Amino acid sequence: MALDKITLQNFRNHASSELVETAHFNLLVGENGAGKTNVLEALSLLSPGRGLRRANLAELARRANPEDEPGAFAIGASLIEQGQVSARIGTYTEPDRPNRRLVRINGADAPASALSEWLAISWLTPAMDGLFTDSAGARRRFVDRMTLAVEPGHAKHVTSLENALRERNKLLETGGEPRWLDAIEAQVAQHGAVVAQNRARLIDLLADELSAVPPEPFARPILAYRPGGPTDVAELLAELARARPRDRAAGRALSGPHRDELDVVMASSGVPAASCSTGEQKAMLIAITLAHGVLASSGRPSVLLLDEVAAHLDPVRRAELFRRLGTGKAQIWMTGTELAPFAEIESEAATWRVSRGKLERL
């Protein structure tokens, strides 16, 4: 197990909810809009970033009335390793600072990036079904989240890279002194090279894991990392210096790790994922998620959040999904409108019925 004694206070439609005595499989069932995905979103915020919905913090606090000012929320959980509590982690906001997320680990303040040192969390939601036809930025965020699960320090480099790129854009726009550009480009190159190398290493690991997976019942994808510029520090630094006139005219950097791309094709046909059917895309996305779950659970405790996945699979694929999840080490959280799709694992799962933001243990 990874998480237990989970508490949600004033989060979305949950005024005060608690989940205890969790298991390897954890099921949340209830009608649409009951608050199932809200629980998954709360768990996703126990990792760096904006969670599985990428919502603004002020949207997360529960409001008794829509016209009320944003309040504060709190999410906490005990981290379980080998049957023992190894840490208590939590994230929250304060009433006077609703747009600033705070983190505590074992009772002490900590940066959000520190959460990745304790726990690896990944997820698959219906909103991700269009990943292969979405923007390159969406795929980079997808890759970064997967990378974070195996490289805990990745988030710091991504944040530093984004900040440095914004500062470089400002300097180019305002005609900043060359020495300031030299300094900020050194930061872009330093952090950008690490980000690019981490991403490439993650894709290589996933490709190796996927190569051993049977092509059925889930369509097997072939992954390739396509860098948006040099991945070596010195080469990236030189490219940034050469590209100043071009980037000044464009208003942004036109090459670098912020332009990386994830290429995906279906192994059996060689067709790019973006051109495959919706069902094939879904199957490939599940295959990637399962392969990543193996990588993520090889080190720290890990959690996999699956929102409304089982109900949309045929019986053969659903059985194979449960089989693979059952043999993995990651703690699994799944949602559904009814228990029927989970019949094969119901006896070994911890199950809660969710209704209007309230939880009832079944």
DSSP state letters, 235-283: HHHHHHHHTHHHHHHHTS-SSSGGG-EEEEEETTT--BGGGS-HHHHHH
Find the largest Cα–Cα distance for the chain: 67
- In the predicted model, what is the mean pLDDT of residues 260-285? 94
What is the model's pTM? 0.90
Residue 203 included in any domain = no
Q: How many domains does the chain have?
A: 1
Residue 31 has pLDDT above 90, yes or no: yes
Residue 318 included in any domain: yes
For residue 90, is it within any domain?
A: yes
What's the domain range around 348?
Answer: 1-119+302-362
For residue 305, the SS3 value is strand
Between residues 298 and 130, the one the model is more confident about: 130
What per-residue confidence (pLDDT) applies to 55?
94
Given a cut of 90, whether residue 150 has pLDDT beyond it is: no
In degrees to the nearest 10, what's the CA dihedral of 201, 205, 225, 160? -40
d(CA 27, CA 22): 10
Tens digit of pLDDT for each residue in 62-108? 987 777 777 899 999 999 988 889 999 999 999 888 899 999 999 99
- Which helix (H) or strand (E) element contains residue 124? strand 120-124
Looking up residue 39, the CATH number of its domain turns out to be 3.40.50.300
Identify the DSSP state of 215: S
Is residue 29 packed enough to be buried (19+ CB in 10 Å), middle (13-18) or exposed (0-12)? buried
Is residue 82 situated within a structural domain?
Answer: yes
In a domain, 183, yes or no: no
* Residue 80 located in a structural domain: yes
Quote the pLDDT of residue 131: 96
Res 145: pLDDT: 92
The dihedral through the CA atoms of 238, 256, 112, 295 has a sign that is: negative
Q: What is the distance, to the nearest Å, from the Cα of residue 189 to the centroid of all Cα atoms in its chain?
A: 25
Please state the separation of Cα 360 from the chain's center in Å. Answer: 27
Is the predicted pLDDT of residue 343 greater than 80, yes or no? yes
Report which of 335, 325, 281 is spatially closest to residue 303, judged by C-alpha positions. Answer: 325
Q: State the DSSP code for 92.
A: E
Angle, CA 339 vertex, CA 277 and CA 83 arms, to 5°: 100
Please tell me the distance from the alpha carbon of residue 54 to that of residue 285, in angstroms, as a whole number: 19
Asked, for residue 306, whether it belongs to a domain, the answer is: yes
Report yes or no on 278 lying in a domain.
no
